[in-house]
Structure 1
Amino acid sequence: MDVIRVHPALFPELYLLRFPVGQAYLWRDGDALTLVDAGPPGAGLRIADAVTALGLRPEDVRRIVLTHFHEDHVGGAGEFARLSGAAVYAHRLEAPIVRGEVMGPPPVFEDWEVPLHEDAMRRLGPPPSNPVLPEEVRELSEGDMLDFGGGAHVVGAPGHTDGSIGIHLPERGVLFTGDAVAVSPLDGQVMLGVFNLDRARALASFQKLAALDAEVACFGHGDPVTEKASSVLRAAVDGYAEG
Structure 2
Amino acid sequence: MDVVELLPRRLYLLGFPVGHAYLWCGPDGLTLVDTGLPGSAPRIAEAVEALGYQRRDLRRILLTHAHVDHVGAAADLTGWGAVTVSAHRDDAQVIRGEADNPPPVLAGWERQLYDQVHATMPAGPPPPVRVDRELRDGDLIDLGGGVQAVAVAVPGHTPGSVAFHLPEQRVLFTGDTIARALDGTVMLGVFNADPVRAAGALRRQADLRPAIACFGHGAPLTENTAARLAEAAAALPH
* TM-score class, shorter: over 0.9
Which of 10, 13, 31 is the equivalent residue of 2:10?
Answer: 13
Determine the C-alpha separation between the residues in 1 that align with 2:120 and 2:103: 18
Structure 1 unaligned spans of 5+: none
Contact kept in structure 2, 1:95 and 1:138, CA below 8 Å: no
Aligned partner of 1:206 in structure 2 is 202
Is 1:62 equivalent to 2:44 in the alignment? no
- Letter matched to residue 224 of structure 1: P
Mapping for residues 151-162 of structure 1, pairs under 5 Å: 151-162=148-159
Determine the C-alpha separation between the residues in 2 that align with 1:18 and 1:117: 21
Deviation, structure 1 residue 84: 3.7
Deviation, structure 1 residue 134: 2.2
TM-score by length of 2: 0.93
Contact kept in structure 1, 2:45 and 2:55, CA below 8 Å: yes
Contact kept in structure 2, 1:214 and 1:228, CA below 8 Å: no
Bigger drift between 154-163 and 108-117 goes to 108-117
Aligned partner of 1:146 in structure 2 is 141
| Corresponding residue SS for 2:13 | strand
Structure 1 residues 35 and 60: CA distance shift in structure 2, 3 A: same
Is 1:194 equivalent to 2:190 in the alignment? yes
Determine the C-alpha separation between the residues in 1 that align with 2:82 and 2:121: 26
Deviation, structure 1 residue 26: 0.3
1:198-224 Cα offsets, whole Å, 9 max, x none, are: 111000110000000311000000001
Is 1:4 equivalent to 2:4 in the alignment? yes
Contact kept in structure 2, 1:41 and 1:127, CA below 8 Å: no
Deviation, structure 1 residue 7: 4.4
Aligned partner of 1:223 in structure 2 is 219
Deviation, structure 1 residue 136: 4.2
RMSD of equivalent CA atoms:
1.7
Contact kept in structure 2, 1:141 and 1:154, CA below 8 Å: yes
Determine the C-alpha separation between the residues in 2 that align with 1:151 and 1:136: 20
Structure 1 residues 132 and 45: CA distance shift in structure 2, 3 A: farther
1:176-199 Cα offsets, whole Å, 9 max, x none, are: 1111100012x2100000000111
Structure 2 unaligned spans of 5+: none
1:153-173 Cα offsets, whole Å, 9 max, x none, are: 000100101110110001101
Contact kept in structure 2, 1:31 and 1:56, CA below 8 Å: no
Mapping for residues 46-125 of structure 1, pairs under 5 Å: 46-125=43-122
TM-score by length of 1: 0.91
Determine the C-alpha separation between the residues in 1 that align with 2:17 and 2:136: 30
Determine the C-alpha separation between the residues in 2 that align with 1:71 and 1:132: 9
Structure 1 residues 16 and 59: CA distance shift in structure 2, 3 A: same
| Corresponding residue SS for 1:17 | strand
Contact kept in structure 2, 1:170 and 1:213, CA below 8 Å: no
- Letter matched to residue 37 of structure 2: P
Bigger drift between 116-125 and 37-46 goes to 116-125
Percentage of identical aligned residues: 48
| Corresponding residue SS for 1:195 | coil
Contact kept in structure 1, 2:95 and 2:131, CA below 8 Å: no
- Letter matched to residue 68 of structure 1: H
